[in-house]
């Protein structure tokens, strides 16, 4: 006869979040407030600085840009942080293990099969939805299959992910070589980060999807904290690690698919903001790290946009700059880790 | 308390454990000893449902560990593996607080705080409580992880080589603390130990594994015999009594 299980403590509201988890001096809430004020200021600046001609003309275009910045920041930041958490690594990102490559391959194959003009003609909501659905199905199938094959080993999953990403890239570049120049032109329009030319009619859906995924992640934030302890540590505390991993990978694929479809691929952006967020959040809790990463992402994209547009007059280069800075930070972290303490 | 029934674990065709059956009584410390690759960690992981057995079942306080919800089980069994790598930067107190997750789902109550404080005091970590884990020595880190397991406040505590990387002073201190957890807090502790004499000094019972099978189990005095230990380790052993306690010496 099994003994009765001890009951869970009822969760009282008081005392809940002001745990002594933050040692004196880190103050995660204050840090968040500072970063988000800066980020909001940058967003307002993107909206209002240097408007020439009537405001009604400039506003819709700029509002779309702000929307694009929000979606890209949210998607890349959240995707990267939860990916890092469930895979117990802070180097590899969803982009590095091939979520991006999958998108590139799908675009390339679509152009190859249906022709560039067909793609240009169906540039609308159905296409975005179809693309995203395909990405999610493909990613879920691939990664659950990989997880089962590798006996739950995250390391194997990551390694195979890197190899598959490379394979996708090779197939894409092979197919791109045999495309007609016109098709290739149309394709490269689809593939490169175009934060400045986000489709306004896709934005509401993208924001809604970000909100939905954000709600799912937010509800699991405390479980994600436990997942930081790794598979065994989380299991010992009663968290189903495999389920958290699969839920997180599905969320990641949705976010990456939407961000990529809307603003083009960005390999190192997520890595950059996540790494900075770990340093600046002043807490390990996802309740602090996630908003910090999103805020830093907004600040980075909006700041870069302001500088590039109004100082250098080269708005199209924003993502390139972010990628260069992110790439350098990535190298610095990789090489820095090798040095003995 | 812990009923192990015909448990075996194999990878492909290679059997690493079992089938083994045994019963661990409530209270006290049971040490799992044996040569390398005997299946000690595997058995401990199966009891703590970190590994699914290929066959057989384990019941802890009457609950089948495979069938019971993991979140419920986390309130009666805690387990600490040997390797505990962390990417996140945590303070000792933050780590110990994780032990309360099965009870409060991550929203710490006043009662949780008391459990955390008690576990920190129990392992003499008060001065280190706000230090980052990566700024600690191996032994201090190890104690922090054990404090987390004690804060989980479970009847059954499973530990895989908690003495690895500890010097004699800290190893003895750790074993004294575990002894106190068993005696004063009434925990049932199952611990994988490499050091036979440490097991003899601090455990109540010894369970010796060899080639995936239970070679011998019993009280310390029953197991600490020349012939028995030679059978377990395939090496000449002499057991001496010093201060009325058995010591195993491996003869060169």
Query: What pLDDT, on a 0 to 100 scale, did the predictor assign at position A340?
Result: 43
**Interchain proximity A284–B85, CB inside 8 Å:** no
- Name the pLDDT band for B61 (thresholds 50, 70, 90): very high
What pLDDT sits at residue A159? 80
Question: Which chain A residue has the Cα nearest residue B103?
Answer: A8
Residues of chain A with C-beta less than 8 angstroms from the C-beta of B93: 20-21, 23
Q: Say if residues A172 and A105 touch (Cβ distance below 8 Å).
A: yes
In the stretch 82-121 of chain B, residues with CB closer than 8 A to chain A read 84-91, 93-94, 97-99, 101-113
Residues 6+ apart with CB under 8 A from B233: B34, B35, B210, B250
Query: How big is the CA angle at A272 (ends A202 and A43), to the nearest 5 degrees?
Result: 50
**Burial class of residue B95 (count of CB atoms within 10 Å of its CB; 0-12, 13-18, 19+):** buried
- pLDDT number for residue A13: 45
- pLDDT given for residue B205 in this prediction: 94
DSSP-derived secondary structure for B131-171: SBGGGS-HHHHHHHHHHHHHHT--SEEEEE-TTTT--HHHH
**CA pair distance A181, A207, nearest whole angstrom:** 34
Nearest residue of A to residue B99 by CA position?
A: A237
Interface residue B10 vs chain A (CB under 8 A) = no
- Three-state SS for chain A is CCCCCCCCCCCCCCCCCCCCCCCCCCCHHHHHHHHHHHHHHHHHHHHHCCCCCCHHHHHHHHHHHHHHHHHHHHHHHHHHHHHHHHHCCCCCCCCCCCHHHHHHHHHHHHHHHHCHHHHHHCCCHHHHHHHHHHHHHHHHHHHHHHHHHCCCCHHHHHHHHHHHHHHHHHHHHHHHHCCCHHHHHHHHHHHCCCHHHCCHHHHHHHHHHHHHHHHHHHHCHHHHHHHCCHHHHHHHCCCCHHHHHHHHHHHHHHHHHHHHHHHCCCCCHHHHHHHHHHHHCCCCCHHHHHHHHHHHHHHHHHHHHHHHHHHCCCHHHHHHHHHHHHHHHHHHHHHHHHCCC
Instruction: Check residue A119 and give its pLDDT.
Output: 67
Structure tokens at A156: 């194997």
Q: Which residues of chain A have pLDDT under 70?
A: 1-25, 119-124, 150-154, 190-194, 196, 314-317, 337-341
Q: What is the ipTM of this complex?
A: 0.90
Task: Write the pLDDT tens digit of every residue in B26-35.
Answer: 989 999 999 8
User: Across the interface, do B75 and A8 touch by the CB < 8 Å criterion?
Assistant: yes
Residues 259-298 of A with CB under 8 A from B: 278, 284
Task: Report the percentage of chain B scoring pLDDT > 90.
Answer: 53
Q: How many CB pairs under 8 A join A and B?
A: 119
pLDDT on residue A102 = 80
Look at residue A323 in the predicted model and tell me its pLDDT.
78
User: Which pLDDT belongs to residue B31?
Assistant: 94
- Please, are residues B220 and B206 in contact by the beta-carbon 8 Å criterion? yes
Q: Give residue B202's pLDDT.
A: 93
For residue B89, list chain A residues with Cβ-Cβ distance below 8 A: 278, 284
pTM exceeds 0.90, yes or no: no
Among residues B51, B40, B26, the alpha carbon closest in space to that of B160 is found at: B40
Residue-wise pLDDT tens digits, A112-166: 888 777 766 666 677 777 777 877 787 778 777 777 776 656 677 778 778 888 8
CB distance B86–A230 less than 8 Å? yes
CA distance A285 to chain B (A): 9
Res A15: pLDDT:
42
Name residues 193-232 of chain B within 8 A of A (Cβ).
none
Looking at the partner chain, which of A225, A230, A240 has a beta carbon nearest the beta carbon of B106? A225
Instruction: Check CB contact of A24 with chain B, cutoff 8 Å.
Output: yes
Identify the pLDDT of residue A20: 45
Looking up tokens 């044996």 gives B34
Pairwise CB contact (< 8 Å): A20 & B62: no
- Judge whether A5 is closer than 8 Å to chain B, CB to CB: yes
Mean pLDDT, chain B, rounded, equals 90
In this model, does residue B236 exceed pLDDT 50?
yes
Residue with tokens 């990628």: A323
A284:B89 CB<8 A: yes
């Amino acid at each position: 006869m099994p003994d009765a299980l001890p009951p869970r403590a009822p969760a009282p509201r008081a005392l809940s979040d002001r745990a002594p988890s933050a040692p004196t001096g880190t103050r995660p809430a204050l840090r968040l407030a500072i970063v988000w004020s800066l980020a909001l200021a940058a967003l307002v600046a993107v909206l209002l600085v240097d408007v020439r001609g009537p405001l009604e003309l400039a506003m819709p275009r700029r509002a779309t840009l702000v929307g694009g910045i929000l979606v890209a920041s949210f998607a890349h930041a959240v995707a990267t942080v939860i990916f890092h958490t469930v895979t117990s690594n802070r180097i590899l990102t969803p982009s590095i293990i091939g979520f991006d490559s999958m998108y590139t391959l799908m675009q390339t194959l679509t152009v190859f099969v249906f022709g560039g003009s067909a793609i240009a003609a169906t540039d609308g909501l159905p296409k975005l939805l179809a693309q995203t659905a395909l990405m999610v199905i493909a990613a879920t199938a691939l990664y659950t299959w990989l997880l089962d094959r590798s006996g739950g080993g995250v390391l194997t999953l990551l390694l195979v992910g890197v190899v598959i990403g490379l394979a996708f890239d090779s197939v894409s570049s092979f197919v791109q070589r045999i495309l007609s120049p016109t098709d290739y032109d149309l394709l490269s329009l689809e593939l490169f980060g175009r934060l400045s030319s986000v489709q306004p009619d896709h934005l509401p859906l993208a924001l809604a999807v970000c909100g939905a995924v954000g709600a799912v992640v937010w509800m699991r934030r405390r479980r994600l904290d436990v997942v930081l302890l790794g598979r065994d540590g989380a299991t010992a505390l009663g968290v189903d690690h495999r389920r958290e991993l699969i839920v997180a990978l599905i969320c990641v694929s949705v976010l990456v698919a939407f961000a990529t479809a809307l603003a083009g691929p960005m390999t190192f952006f997520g890595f950059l903001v996540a790494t900075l967020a770990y340093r600046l959040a002043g807490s390990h809790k996802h309740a602090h790290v996630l908003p910090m990463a999103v805020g830093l992402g907004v600040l980075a994209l909006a700041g870069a946009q302001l500088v590039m547009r109004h100082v250098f007059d080269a708005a199209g280069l924003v993502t390139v700059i972010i990628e260069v800075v992110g790439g350098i930070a990535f190298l610095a972290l990789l090489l820095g880790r090798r040095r003995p303490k | 308390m812990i009923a192990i029934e015909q448990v075996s674990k194999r990878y492909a065709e290679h059997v690493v454990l079992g089938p083994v059956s045994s019963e661990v009584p409530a209270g006290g410390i049971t040490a799992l000893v044996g040569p390398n690759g005997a299946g000690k960690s595997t058995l401990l992981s199966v009891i703590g449902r970190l590994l699914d057995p290929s066959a057989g079942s384990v019941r802890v306080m009457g609950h089948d560990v495979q069938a019971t919800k993991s979140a419920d089980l986390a309130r009666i069994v805690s387990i600490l593996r040997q390797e505990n790598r962390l990417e996140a930067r945590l303070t000792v107190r933050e780590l110990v607080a994780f032990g309360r997750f099965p009870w409060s789902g991550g929203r710490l109550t006043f009662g949780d705080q008391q459990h955390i404080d008690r576990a920190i005091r129990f392992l003499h970590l008060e001065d280190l409580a706000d230090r980052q884990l990566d700024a600690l020595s191996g032994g201090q880190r190890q104690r922090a992880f054990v404090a987390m397991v004690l804060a989980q406040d479970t009847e059954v505590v499973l530990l895989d080589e908690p003495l690895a990387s500890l010097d004699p002073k800290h190893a003895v201190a750790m074993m004294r603390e575990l002894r106190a957890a068993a005696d004063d807090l009434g925990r049932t502790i199952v611990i994988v130990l490499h050091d036979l004499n440490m097991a003899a000094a601090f455990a109540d019972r010894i369970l010796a594994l060899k080639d995936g099978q239970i070679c011998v189990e019993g009280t310390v005095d029953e197991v600490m015999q020349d012939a028995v230990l030679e059978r377990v380790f395939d090496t000449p052993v002499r057991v001496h009594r010093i201060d009325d306690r058995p010591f195993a010496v491996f003869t060169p």
